[in-house]
Amino acid sequence: ITDSDPISAAQIPNRICRNQALFVQSRAIYWALEHQANFIGYVALHGPNEPAPALSYAICPRWRRQGFAAEAIAAVCCYVFSALGSRELLARTHLDNHPSASLLVKLGFLHARVVSVNGGERHEFRRRAN
Protein backbone atom coordinates (compact mmCIF):
# COMPACT_ATOMS: atom_id res chain seq x y z
CA ILE A 1 0.00 0.00 0.00
CA THR A 2 2.90 2.37 0.54
CA ASP A 3 5.19 3.99 -1.98
CA SER A 4 8.21 2.07 -0.69
CA ASP A 5 6.70 -1.46 -0.77
CA PRO A 6 7.59 -2.43 2.81
CA ILE A 7 6.91 -6.16 2.27
CA SER A 8 7.52 -8.36 -0.72
CA ALA A 9 4.84 -10.27 -2.62
CA ALA A 10 6.23 -13.48 -1.12
CA GLN A 11 5.57 -12.14 2.40
CA ILE A 12 1.92 -11.26 1.77
CA PRO A 13 0.42 -14.74 2.45
CA ASN A 14 2.16 -14.87 5.84
CA ARG A 15 0.96 -11.36 6.68
CA ILE A 16 -2.63 -12.31 5.79
CA CYS A 17 -2.46 -15.47 7.92
CA ARG A 18 -1.03 -13.51 10.85
CA ASN A 19 -3.77 -10.87 10.59
CA GLN A 20 -6.48 -13.54 10.36
CA ALA A 21 -5.11 -15.16 13.52
CA LEU A 22 -5.20 -11.82 15.34
CA PHE A 23 -8.83 -11.38 14.31
CA VAL A 24 -9.80 -14.89 15.45
CA GLN A 25 -8.07 -14.26 18.79
CA SER A 26 -9.99 -10.95 19.16
CA ARG A 27 -6.65 -9.10 19.15
CA ALA A 28 -7.33 -7.01 16.04
CA ILE A 29 -10.12 -6.00 13.69
CA TYR A 30 -9.38 -5.12 10.06
CA TRP A 31 -11.67 -3.29 7.66
CA ALA A 32 -10.98 -3.10 3.93
CA LEU A 33 -11.64 0.30 2.39
CA GLU A 34 -13.24 0.31 -1.03
CA HIS A 35 -14.24 2.99 -3.49
CA GLN A 36 -16.17 2.15 -6.65
CA ALA A 37 -15.38 -1.56 -6.16
CA ASN A 38 -11.64 -0.86 -5.84
CA PHE A 39 -9.60 -1.78 -2.77
CA ILE A 40 -8.05 1.52 -1.68
CA GLY A 41 -6.66 0.70 1.75
CA TYR A 42 -7.47 -0.55 5.20
CA VAL A 43 -8.10 0.61 8.73
CA ALA A 44 -7.42 -1.62 11.73
CA LEU A 45 -8.04 -1.62 15.44
CA HIS A 46 -5.41 -3.41 17.54
CA GLY A 47 -6.25 -4.57 21.05
CA PRO A 48 -9.97 -3.83 20.79
CA ASN A 49 -10.49 -5.22 24.30
CA GLU A 50 -7.70 -3.12 25.81
CA PRO A 51 -8.42 0.10 27.75
CA ALA A 52 -6.75 2.13 24.96
CA PRO A 53 -6.86 0.26 21.64
CA ALA A 54 -4.57 1.36 18.80
CA LEU A 55 -5.57 2.46 15.33
CA SER A 56 -3.60 1.77 12.15
CA TYR A 57 -4.44 2.60 8.57
CA ALA A 58 -3.00 2.85 5.09
CA ILE A 59 -4.36 4.25 1.84
CA CYS A 60 -3.01 3.34 -1.60
CA PRO A 61 -1.01 6.30 -2.98
CA ARG A 62 -3.45 6.97 -5.82
CA TRP A 63 -6.34 7.45 -3.37
CA ARG A 64 -4.63 9.62 -0.76
CA ARG A 65 -5.74 13.17 0.13
CA GLN A 66 -9.33 12.54 -0.95
CA GLY A 67 -10.89 12.17 2.50
CA PHE A 68 -11.03 8.37 2.64
CA ALA A 69 -8.68 8.04 5.62
CA ALA A 70 -10.52 10.79 7.51
CA GLU A 71 -13.86 9.09 6.94
CA ALA A 72 -12.53 5.68 8.01
CA ILE A 73 -10.75 7.01 11.10
CA ALA A 74 -13.85 8.95 12.18
CA ALA A 75 -15.94 5.78 11.84
CA VAL A 76 -13.48 3.74 13.91
CA CYS A 77 -13.42 6.47 16.58
CA CYS A 78 -17.20 6.31 16.78
CA TYR A 79 -17.07 2.51 17.05
CA VAL A 80 -14.37 2.57 19.74
CA PHE A 81 -16.05 5.18 21.91
CA SER A 82 -19.69 4.14 21.39
CA ALA A 83 -19.81 0.40 20.74
CA LEU A 84 -16.73 -0.65 22.72
CA GLY A 85 -17.04 1.99 25.43
CA SER A 86 -13.32 2.78 25.38
CA ARG A 87 -12.25 6.11 26.83
CA GLU A 88 -9.08 6.52 24.74
CA LEU A 89 -7.72 5.59 21.29
CA LEU A 90 -4.05 5.54 20.23
CA ALA A 91 -2.52 6.06 16.79
CA ARG A 92 1.09 6.15 15.62
CA THR A 93 2.76 7.65 12.57
CA HIS A 94 6.26 7.52 11.13
CA LEU A 95 8.23 10.59 12.18
CA ASP A 96 8.32 11.95 8.62
CA ASN A 97 4.66 11.28 7.79
CA HIS A 98 3.45 14.85 8.28
CA PRO A 99 0.18 14.44 6.30
CA SER A 100 -0.90 11.56 8.54
CA ALA A 101 0.06 13.43 11.70
CA SER A 102 -1.88 16.49 10.52
CA LEU A 103 -4.91 14.34 9.77
CA LEU A 104 -4.88 12.84 13.25
CA VAL A 105 -4.69 16.31 14.83
CA LYS A 106 -7.56 17.49 12.61
CA LEU A 107 -9.61 14.54 13.89
CA GLY A 108 -9.04 15.42 17.54
CA PHE A 109 -5.92 13.43 18.39
CA LEU A 110 -3.19 15.06 20.48
CA HIS A 111 0.51 14.32 20.13
CA ALA A 112 1.57 12.42 23.25
CA ARG A 113 5.18 11.35 22.72
CA VAL A 114 7.72 9.64 20.48
CA VAL A 115 7.88 5.86 21.02
CA SER A 116 10.09 3.02 19.77
CA VAL A 117 8.21 0.48 17.66
CA ASN A 118 9.76 -2.46 15.79
CA GLY A 119 13.20 -0.89 15.79
CA GLY A 120 12.01 2.54 14.64
CA GLU A 121 10.56 5.64 16.22
CA ARG A 122 6.98 6.82 15.80
CA HIS A 123 4.88 9.76 16.93
CA GLU A 124 2.16 8.55 19.26
CA PHE A 125 -1.17 10.36 19.30
CA ARG A 126 -4.06 9.94 21.71
CA ARG A 127 -7.70 10.84 21.45
CA ARG A 128 -10.03 10.71 24.40
CA ALA A 129 -13.76 10.11 24.25
CA ASN A 130 -15.84 13.29 24.35
- The structural domains of the chain, with segments of one domain joined by +, span 9-128
Q: Which residue has the higher pLDDT, 25 or 56?
A: 56
Relative to beta strand 120-128, strand 110-117 is: antiparallel
What whole-number distance in Å separates Cα of residue 72 and Cα of residue 39?
Answer: 13
CA-CA distances (angstroms) from residue 77 to 17, 37, 50, 85, 104? Answer: 26, 24, 14, 11, 11
pLDDT classification of 2: cutoffs 50, 70, 90: very low
Sign of CA dihedral 127, 25, 35, 8: positive
Amino acid occupying residue 77: C
CA-CA distances (angstroms) from residue 126 to 49, 52, 92? Answer: 17, 9, 9
Q: Is the whole-model pTM more than 0.85?
A: no
pLDDT tens digit string along 50-64?
999 999 999 988 999
What whole-number distance in Å separates Cα of residue 40 and Cα of residue 63?
Answer: 6
Superfamily of domain 9-128: Gcn5-related N-acetyltransferase (GNAT) (3.40.630.30)
